[in-house]
């Protein structure tokens, strides 16, 4: 028997020769992707992605809050055609969610932000590049033009912030997202226990940890050194950029900075990181186009409420003056459906796509988006709604239960 014949036979039995295809082919849920990524990553990287602040109460609460809600199905409705499209901040998205900004993404997989942005573009959902990205905003826009959003931290050096904004505008990013829940960085206990730092520093235990993950190490060594690429021109060495970036977090940012930004940025402006109805109303009055209810995935103030718990009261307070987005704890299509039914216009996901990226690069990130999208579609059909508009309109009758 010839080699080609054997190959054809094996193919008949569904064997995939490509290792990534094979692994992804066995994954059905985001939880499966998470398990694969967790095996691929050294302990320090795993802790950085998975971890929350302090006792990780908010991290757990985010998911538990979703689990407290139940869905009340409507039956005998024609759900043969279901439309998952919706407008998010003026953009027609194929699915009712976008990808949240995450810093240091090339550490999760050497292909980093461009891989995720390509997966997002192919799936028809927006991607948000972080100020703390490991690919510069210019490089990303050049490599993956499309519906791009930029997440901004107002830096201590306001001149530099202004310069950054000019670059964002010039590179064609459509939406600006100001993160407001990082006056200081939350205490990530796992990172300290694991000896994990940015940039990673070598100690006997981190070297041993990395040695157990040679594929991850090799792929990283082959690429450019990892750095905060948006700030790279302000320092010559990667280590220098890190110290510089750490010094740029500013605890004195106020509503005045938001007003300045509103004057300065003519496109859609969104604030991310509020969980209070009062703040959301004030942001609406300040002229923002959207508010992302978020506790940063449980990574900042531990014991911060889960955004999904406060969503109904925030919606009631702001009416439809601003678009409301929610993130933190979304792992399933049913979580997305619950958020929309409770009054969100759309949602963002963070860790789910990082799990996909860690499991299989661009294909893994695309798999995470596809899984969530298919789950949304199936949940809508089983729930008895055929459009996002209908889901939002009938929402209060479709959900039972109240947060925690
Ligand atoms: C590894 C990691 C890095 C993050 N980096 C940023 C960041 O640079 N800027 C930001 O606004 N939010 C950042 N976030 C928060 C996410 O944008 C988002 O709010 C959070 O991940 C949502 O929760 P989820 O992971 O449960 O979906 C990060 C989250 C993770 C997990």
List, for residues 293-343, the tens digit of each pLDDT value. Answer: 999 999 999 999 999 999 999 999 999 999 999 999 999 999 999 999 999
State the Cα–Cα distance between residues 67 and 218, nearest whole angstrom. 39
Atom of ligand 1 nearest to the CA of 272: 11
- 401 found inside a domain: no
DSSP state of 297: G
Q: Is 182 in the pocket of ligand 1 (CB under 6 A)?
A: no
Q: Quick check: is 296 catalytic? A: yes
Q: Is 188 in the pocket of ligand 1 (CB under 6 A)?
A: no
- 282 found inside a domain: yes
Residue 372 has pLDDT above 90, yes or no: yes
Ligand 1 test: best mutation among 44, 51, 100, most atoms within 8 Å of CB? 100
- 269 found inside a domain: yes
- 2 found inside a domain: no
Residue with CA nearest ligand 1 atom 13: 102
CB 353 within 8 A of CB 321: no
- 171 found inside a domain: yes
pLDDT at 5: 76
Q: How far apart are the first and last CA of the chain?
A: 64
- As given in the structure block, the two tokens for residue 14 are 């569904």
pLDDT at 10: 64
- 281 found inside a domain: yes
Band of residue 403 on the pLDDT scale cut at 50, 70, 90: very low
Mean pLDDT of 22-38: 98
Residue 292 has pLDDT above 80, yes or no: yes
State the Cα–Cα distance between residues 30 and 14, nearest whole angstrom. 23
CB neighbourhood size of 204 (10 A): 8
Ligand 1 test: best mutation among 61, 63, 98, 103, most atoms within 8 Å of CB? 103
Residue 196 has pLDDT above 80, yes or no: yes
Residue 97 has pLDDT above 50, yes or no: yes
Higher-confidence residue: 217 or 137? 137
100 CA distance to ligand 1 centroid (A)?
A: 6
pLDDT at 404: 45
31 CA distance to ligand 1 centroid (A)?
A: 18
- 106 found inside a domain: yes
- Burial profile 298-331: b = 16 or more Cβ within 10 angstroms, e = fewer: bbbbbebbbbbbbbbebbebbeebbbbbbbbbbb
pLDDT tens per residue, range 271-280: 999 999 999 9
Q: Is 304 in the pocket of ligand 1 (CB under 6 A)?
A: no
- As given in the structure block, the two tokens for residue 26 are 């066995």
pLDDT tens per residue, range 59-75: 999 999 999 999 999 99
Residue 161 has pLDDT above 60, yes or no: yes
Residue 156 has pLDDT above 80, yes or no: yes
Nearest to 126 by CA among 363, 360, 347, 323: 347
Q: CATH code at 140?
A: 3.20.20.70
CB 377 within 8 A of CB 369: no
Residue with CA nearest ligand 1 atom 20: 297
Atom of ligand 1 nearest to the CA of 101: 17
DSSP state of 324: E
Q: Is 403 in the pocket of ligand 1 (CB under 6 A)?
A: no
Number of domains observed in the structure of the chain:
1
Q: What are phi and psi of 17, to 5 degrees?
A: -75, -30
CB 348 within 8 A of CB 31: no
Q: Is 51 in the pocket of ligand 1 (CB under 6 A)?
A: no
230 is in which domain, residue-wise? 32-66+93-373
Catalytic one of 91, 170, 234, 296? 296
pLDDT at 369: 99
Q: CB burial class (10 A; 0-12, 13-18, 19+) of residue 13?
A: exposed
CB 300 within 8 A of CB 274: no
pLDDT at 30: 98
Q: Is 100 in the pocket of ligand 1 (CB under 6 A)?
A: yes
- 397 found inside a domain: no
289 CA distance to ligand 1 centroid (A)?
A: 21
Q: Is 128 in the pocket of ligand 1 (CB under 6 A)?
A: no
Q: Are strands 269-274 and 399-400 parallel, antiparallel or unpaired?
A: unpaired
Q: Compute the C-alpha angle 351/357/358, nearest 5°.
A: 90
Compute the residue count for the chain.
404
Nearest to 74 by CA among 325, 346, 341: 341
Q: Are strands 97-99 and 346-349 parallel, antiparallel or unpaired?
A: parallel
User: What integer best gives the mean pLDDT of the chain?
Assistant: 94
């Amino acid at each position: 028997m010839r080699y080609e014949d054997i190959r054809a036979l094996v193919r008949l039995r569904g064997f995939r020769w490509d290792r990534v295809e094979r692994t992804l082919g066995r994954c059905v849920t985001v939880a499966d992707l998470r398990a694969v990524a967790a095996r691929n990553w050294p302990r320090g990287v795993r802790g950085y992605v998975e971890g929350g602040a302090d006792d990780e109460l908010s991290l757990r609460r985010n998911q538990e809050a979703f689990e407290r809600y139940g869905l009340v199905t409507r039956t005998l409705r024609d759900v043969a055609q279901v439309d998952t499209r919706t407008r998010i901040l003026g953009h027609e998205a194929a699915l009712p969610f976008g990808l949240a900004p995450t810093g240091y993404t090339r550490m999760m997989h050497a292909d980093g932000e461009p891989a995720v942005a390509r997966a997002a573009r192919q799936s028809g959902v927006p991607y948000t590049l972080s100020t703390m990205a490991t690919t510069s905003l210019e490089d990303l826009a050049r490599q993956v033009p499309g519906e791009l959003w930029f997440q901004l931290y107002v830096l201590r050096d306001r001149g530099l912030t202004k310069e950054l904004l000019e670059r964002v505008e010039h590179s064609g990013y459509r939406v600006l997202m100001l993160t407001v829940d990082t006056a200081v960085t939350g205490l990530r206990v796992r990172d300290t226990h694991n000896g994990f730092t940015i940039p990673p520093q070598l100690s006997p235990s981190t070297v041993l940890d990395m040695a157990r993950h040679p594929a991850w190490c090799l792929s990283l060594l082959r690429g450019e050194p990892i750095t905060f690429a948006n700030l790279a021109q302000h320092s010559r060495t990667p280590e220098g950029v890190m110290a510089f970036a750490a010094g740029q977090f500013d605890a004195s940012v106020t509503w005045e900075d938001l007003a300045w930004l509103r004057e300065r940025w003519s496109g859609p402006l969104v604030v991310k990181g509020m969980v209070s109805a009062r703040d959301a109303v004030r942001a609406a009055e300040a002229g923002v186009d959207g508010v992302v209810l978020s506790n940063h995935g449980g990574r900042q103030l531990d014991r911060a409420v889960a955004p999904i718990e406060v969503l109904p009261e925030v919606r009631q307070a702001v009416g439809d003056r601003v678009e409301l987005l929610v993130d933190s704890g979304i792992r399933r299509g049913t979580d997305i459906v619950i958020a929309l039914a409770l009054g969100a216009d759309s949602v963002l996901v963070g860790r789910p796509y990082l799990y996909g990226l860690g499991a299989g690069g661009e294909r893994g990130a695309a798999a995470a988006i596809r899984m969530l999208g298919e789950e949304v579609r199936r949940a809508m059909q089983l729930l008895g709604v055929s459009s996002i508009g209908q889901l939002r309109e009938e929402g209060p009758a479709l959900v039972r239960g109240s947060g925690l």
